[in-house]
Amino acid sequence: MAIAISAEKPSSVETGLSPLSSPPPVILTQDELKKIAAYKAVEFVESGMVLGLGTGSTAKHAVDRIGELLRQGKLTNIVGIPTSKKTHEQAVSLGIPLSDLDSYPVVDLAIDGADEVDPFMNLVKGRGGSLLREKMVEGACKKFVVIVDESKLVPHLGGSGLAMPVEVVPYCWKFTAKRLQDLFEDCGCVAKLRTTGEQPFVTDNGNYVIDLYLKKDIGDLKVASDNILRLAGVVEHGMFLDMATTVIVASELGVTIRNK
Ligand SMILES: O=C(CO)[C@H](O)[C@H](O)COP(=O)(O)O
């Protein structure tokens, strides 16, 4: 798989390589890096597009920017397809016209964050809980631009040691969690119900999320994906394989754009 890589340094990012007489380098916060990636992605948006609007703290910056450009008249005739109730609310508050996949089954471009990005542009998504709608919308896109700060880059999916989310129906969720854990027993998998306080976290679709914590590389991702989806009780998982067409990574050193 050929991956083209180009790097650009946004004017607001210091490299730390300035001459001694320059002011000290500005250290950007993770949120500022997210915003830089998001604004770069919005440069791909053109008037008249049907846009998948992602969910999470990085995607929020992109949605804000789209709203701003619409207000300024620099973008017109946009239709947004939100990937969560939260993004729906944000887009409504910004006056972005919205619709859904029933009316627009083909989406021109989606912009969304990710929890992990591997060297082949495979993703883990859904730590914000919106994986199902994200996968539906982003799977219907001609172009899917992923926006991350560099902390999201991993050598292999599951490599951050954080959760690999799986959306499951609430019915007998313990049974499904056990089957998921058994599936990846060799990877030292621990399956945990995601909670909000004492209560199960409930997705926009009324389902629960089982977070898988993996101690070892999950191996062949396609096989892992098929095995998860084969379990009755599973609705969707957070591995987004071969879906991203562009990944924009913001770091202290600048912005890197990878294209498939
Ligand atoms: O998949 C997601 C939500 O379901 C988010 O895109 C992902 O969790 C990244 O979030 P953030 O931009 O806040 O780091």
Burial class of residue 196, CB neighbours in 10 A (0-12, 13-18, 19+): exposed
* Four-residue CA torsion sign, 233, 239, 245, 248: positive
Using one digit for the tens of pLDDT, what is the confidence trace for 70-114?
A: 999 999 999 999 999 999 999 999 999 999 999 999 999 999 999
Instruction: Pick the atom of ligand 1 nearest to 58's CA.
Output: 12
Average pLDDT, rounded, for the chain: 92
pLDDT of 11 higher than 70: no
Q: Cα(65) to centroid of ligand 1, in Å?
A: 17
Catalytic pick among 8, 32, 43, 134: 134
The conformation of residue 150, written as its DSSP 8-state character, comes to G
Terminal Cα-to-Cα distance of the chain (whole angstroms): 8
Q: How far is the CA of 21 from the centre of ligand 1 (A)?
A: 40
Q: Is 134 in the active site? A: yes
Reading the block at residue 14, the tokens are 């210091």
Name residue 52's beta-bridge partners. Answer: 81, 110
What is the percent of the chain where pLDDT is above 70? 92
CA 17–ligand 1 middle distance (angstroms) = 32
- Rounded to two decimals, the pTM is 0.91
3-class DSSP assignment, residue 168: strand
Q: Is the CB of 127 under 6 A from ligand 1?
A: yes
Q: What is the pLDDT of residues 200-212, one digit of tens each?
A: 999 999 999 999 9
Say yes or no to pLDDT of 65 above 50. yes
User: What value of ipTM does the predicted structure carry?
Assistant: 0.98
Confidence (pLDDT) at 21: 66
Residue 13 predicted with pLDDT over 60:
no
> Quick one: tokens of 237?
């998982």
Determine if ligand 1 sits within 6 Å of the CB of residue 122. no
Radius of gyration in angstroms for the set of CA atoms belonging to the chain, rounded to a whole number = 19
**What is the position in ligand 1's atom list of the atom closest to the CA of 130?**
4
In this model, does residue 10 exceed pLDDT 90?
no
When pLDDT is cut at 50, 70 and 90, the band that residue 182 belongs to is very high
What domains can you pick out in the chain, each with its CATH number?
A: 4-154+242-259 (3.40.50.1360), 164-237 (3.30.70.260)
